[in-house]
Amino acid sequence: MLVARLKRELDENQYVSLPDFIRPEARERAVQDAIEALPNAHQNSSNRNCYLQRQGDPSLPADHPRNMMLEASTRMLAYDRIPDDCPVKTLYHWEPVRRMVAEIVGTDPLYDNEDPCQPVNLVCYRTGDQSAWHFDSTNAFTMTLMLQASEQGGEFEMVPDTRSDEDQNYDYVRRVLQGECPQDVVSVARSAGALCIFRGCNSVHRVSPVEGKTMRIMGVFVYEREPGVIGDPEVNATIYGRDVAPA
Ligand SMILES: O=C(O)CCC(=O)C(=O)O
Ligand SMILES: [Fe+2]
């Protein structure tokens, strides 16, 4: 059965990719929606370590991964900046998709995220934009849909199982970040329309700098293990540029 094979692939490789997940007309429609909404995107530029922290640890050496600050830059369209009839929202809220994803990731059932910003994002990368090496923070899995690929660059690169729940593996992480382990970097082929489910918590990954005129446009979907989840206002302030309500 297809879902069983995808689950096995995810468990073995820490990612699985499904080509042609969205019809070309729907994909083009989502690309248009992203281009039209782009003036409302939050330009998200940051200098941070691979643990998504903006501050290093002065008690550690300069070449410790916690002190290796990396540049990232994307344009982020939050859920409430995307039209309600955009195909990425339709897909996200469609029960058969949620059920299929739940079976692949082995967390059943899954629920929609209820935050105003977080459930579905369109992440746009123009020339020079990139996502630096990082571990995803809380989510057990991440799901992305390539809506438009860049002409050059914009590769999704991952080093499976760089660390584990028990071992931070700092020395290895440092070598990966310094480019000393190219043989361990998996470049995940993503043509337009491909869905990717990956476990980014312990597998460091990045998007290499985008080159060329064509914007890389990625749909990102967040499902939850329990109903009613909303985001942390501070995280929304950082990622989406929202005001933090006064305490
Ligand atoms: O844009 C991508 O391909 C991956 C983005 C990413 O790292 C994430 O959503 O956690
Ligand atoms: Fe990530």
First to last CA, the chain: 51
- Which residues in the chain land under pLDDT 50? none
Pairing of β 70-77 and β 120-125: antiparallel
Among the bound ligands, name the one nearest to the CA of residue 210: 1
Side chain identity at residue 134, one-letter code: H
pLDDT of residue 41: 96
Nearest CA to ligand 1 atom 7: 206
CA–centroid distance, residue 5 to ligand 1 (Å): 23
Does ligand 1 have an atom closer than 6 angstroms to the CB of 198? no
pLDDT of residue 247: 54
Does ligand 1 have an atom closer than 6 angstroms to the CB of 136? yes
Angle between helices 2-13 and 95-105 (to 10 degrees): 50
Does ligand 1 have an atom closer than 6 angstroms to the CB of 131? yes
pLDDT of residue 190: 77
Question: Which atom of ligand 1 is nearest the CA belonging to 134?
Answer: 7
